[in-house]
């Protein structure tokens, strides 16, 4: 009986110790740290994916006349992850005003970034914004350099 109590106490102590230790944060790989430096932005690294927000805090958005904050859907982003061959894959969604679409499209294409979609998310938004989906493959630092001109 005493052996059983000792064993139970030992198991409970092990559980308390293991549950009391916080999970280690995933460290951002060096090449993704370089991406963040290059873009001069902060990012979130989880499950092998680096996500960098590109909000449009310069826009005062309304939907049908109601003020609408940026987090409601007016923030762009890019994300990077490793492909099976070790290269990086970048995808993203940029929020653009109508007069920004052609210059941004030209800049992306000139820098080797693919544009996979251009569409709107809202009706009755003012100003009217467009969402440009981007895609690229290669080295993370090269992709950051290629997308940097349109990420500010």
pTM of the model: 0.79
pLDDT for 138-149, tens place per residue? 999 999 999 999
* pLDDT for 3 beyond 80: no
* pLDDT for 102 beyond 50: yes
Distance CA 61, CA 122 (A): 11
Given a contact cutoff of 8 angstroms between Cβ atoms, the answer to whether 44 and 51 are in contact is yes
* Closest alpha carbon to 147 in 56, 59, 52: 52
Give residue limits of the domains in the chain: 26-150
> What are the structure tokens assigned to 95, written together?
């929020």
Terminal alpha carbon distance of the chain: 69
């Amino acid at each position: 009986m005493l052996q059983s109590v000792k064993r139970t106490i030992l198991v409970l102590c092990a559980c308390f110790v293991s549950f009391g230790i916080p999970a280690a944060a995933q460290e951002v790989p060096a090449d993704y740290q370089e991406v963040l430096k290059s873009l001069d932005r902060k990012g979130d690294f989880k499950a092998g994916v680096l996500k960098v927000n590109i909000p449009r805090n310069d826009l005062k958005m309304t939907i049908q006349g109601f003020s609408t904050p940026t987090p409601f859907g007016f923030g762009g982003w890019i994300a990077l992850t490793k492909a099976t061959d070790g290269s990086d894959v970048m995808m993203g969604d940029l929020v653009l005003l109508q007069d920004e679409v052609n210059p941004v499209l030209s800049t992306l294409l000139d820098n080797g970034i693919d544009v996979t979609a251009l569409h709107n998310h809202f009706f009755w938004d003012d100003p009217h914004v467009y969402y440009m989906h981007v895609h690229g493959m290669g080295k993370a630092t090269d992709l950051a350099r290629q997308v940097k001109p349109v990420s500010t």
